[in-house]
Amino acid sequence: MGSLQKTAVCLLFLSVFFSASNSTFATFNCNAVKIEYKKTAVISCIGNMKITNMVVKRCERCNKQNSCLETIINTWRGNYSSEKGRIRLVLQHNVSEVHIQEVKATDQGGYKWHLYSDNGERDGCTNLEITDPEIEPSLIWNGRKLACLSPIGHRQRQVHWFDGHGNNLTGNASLVSEEAEGGLTSLTSTLHEKPYLTASEYCCTVLYDVHTKRNKTKCLSAHKAVADYLHFTSTSDQEIPKTMKEHIPIILVLLVLVLCCFAAVLYYRHRQRATAKGNFADLLRTLLPLLRQNEKAKENAPNQEV
């Protein structure tokens, strides 16, 4: 009976010993963060021991192997910040915080951490999710095409078209994506309706999240759009600036007029010169007989004196 008690005490001691040795970071945890675009994200990690050093790498995703390549924090090398201080580490005893200011779309993904203390070390990964800037789309109609502009957002968002009866018209639209600030994109979806709007209403829906169905919708009444367009195009006292192509005929006419004036001046000067030459020739023809008569008179004068 005594040996059984000793064995039980030994087992209890070993259990307490191993649980104590394995509880160095038993309460350790790093939180996943979901933050709005351009806000400040804080990834905090808490342990039950003082954290002495920390290494943080940015990954494409936590569950994707070999995607953690960029090291943003490494206290072993004295690197407590990156990107000119936009990302910085705040380390206080058993709490570490990675502050990311004005988060961008490219900040989204996994952050692999490796924490060190005097009693051991541990690593893991946590995710940072950036929510879309949900800006209401705008609709523009030029009489033939209806365009929906979503100026800024993640690449994953979608643009859908519906008429007033709920029919999906997205198949009749073309989409153009352009790079915007912070790794986001600008989307322009054009719905082709010829020669005029045929439905009573058109709605453009920007879908930000396929799973939660978060979206913003902007609708336009076809009758109001046509009336506004006709009112705009029939306004007589509103001067619409001309393009360079519209100025070309006027420039050509002015050029022809200048060339004609130049040619007329040259012709007038030529006629003046020709007239002057003709008058001089007539004068010579008149003077020559007189000169000849004068010479003959001089020749006959000596003969008469003899």
Which CATH number fits the domain that encloses residue 212? 2.60.40.10
Other beta carbons within 10 Å of 107: 22
Given 131, 156, 181, which residue is the final one in a domain? 131
Inform me whether the pLDDT recorded for 104 exceeds 80. yes
| CA 293 – CA 275 distance, rounded (Å) | 28
Among 131, 157, 189, the domain-final residue is 131
pLDDT at 234 over 50: no
What is the residue range of 181's domain? 138-233
Both 33 and 127 in one domain: the answer is yes
Type of residue found at 155 = R
Radius of gyration (C-alpha) of the chain in whole angstroms: 46
Q: How far apart are the first and last CA of the chain?
A: 197
Write the DSSP symbol of residue 25.
T
Which residues have a Cβ under 8 Å from the Cβ of 178 and sit 6 or more positions away?
Answer: 185, 186, 188
Q: Where are the alpha helices (DSSP H) in the chain?
A: 2-21, 222-233, 244-305
238 inside domain: no
In a domain, 54, yes or no: yes
Verify that 74 and 144 share a domain, yes or no. Answer: no
In the structure encoding, which two tokens stand for residue 270, read together? 């030529």
Residues 169 and 89 in one domain: no
Counted domains in the chain: 2
The dihedrals phi and psi of 258, each to the nearest 5 degrees, come to: -65, -45
**Which carries the bigger pLDDT value, residue 74 or residue 211?**
74
Residue 208: the pLDDT is 84
Flag whether pLDDT at 242 surpasses 80: no
Q: Which residues contact 263 (CB under 8 A, 6 or more apart)?
A: none
Which position has the higher pLDDT, 85 or 238?
Answer: 85
- Rounded to 5 degrees, what angle do the CA atoms 237, 243, 246 make? 90
CA nearest to 22, candidates 48, 40, 56: 48
- The answer on 29 and 126 residing in a single domain is yes
Does the structure show a pLDDT above 60 at 238? no
pLDDT tens digits, one per residue of 40-79: 999 998 888 888 999 999 998 888 878 888 899 999 999 9
User: Domain for residue 289, yes or no?
Assistant: no
Task: Report yes or no on 1 lying in a domain.
Answer: no
Question: Could you give the residue ranges of the DSSP H alpha helices within 22-159?
Answer: none
**Cβ atoms < 10 Å from Cβ of 95:** 13
pLDDT tens by residue, 260-291: 888 888 878 777 776 766 666 666 667 667 66
Domain boundary among 192, 213, 233: 233
Query: What confidence score (pLDDT) does residue 120 get?
Result: 81
What type of residue sits at position 160?
Answer: H
Would 216 be classed as within a structural domain? Answer: yes
Please check whether residue 190 lies inside any domain of the structure: yes
Which is higher by pLDDT, 259 or 80?
80
The DSSP symbol for 208 reads: S
Amino acid identity of 94? N
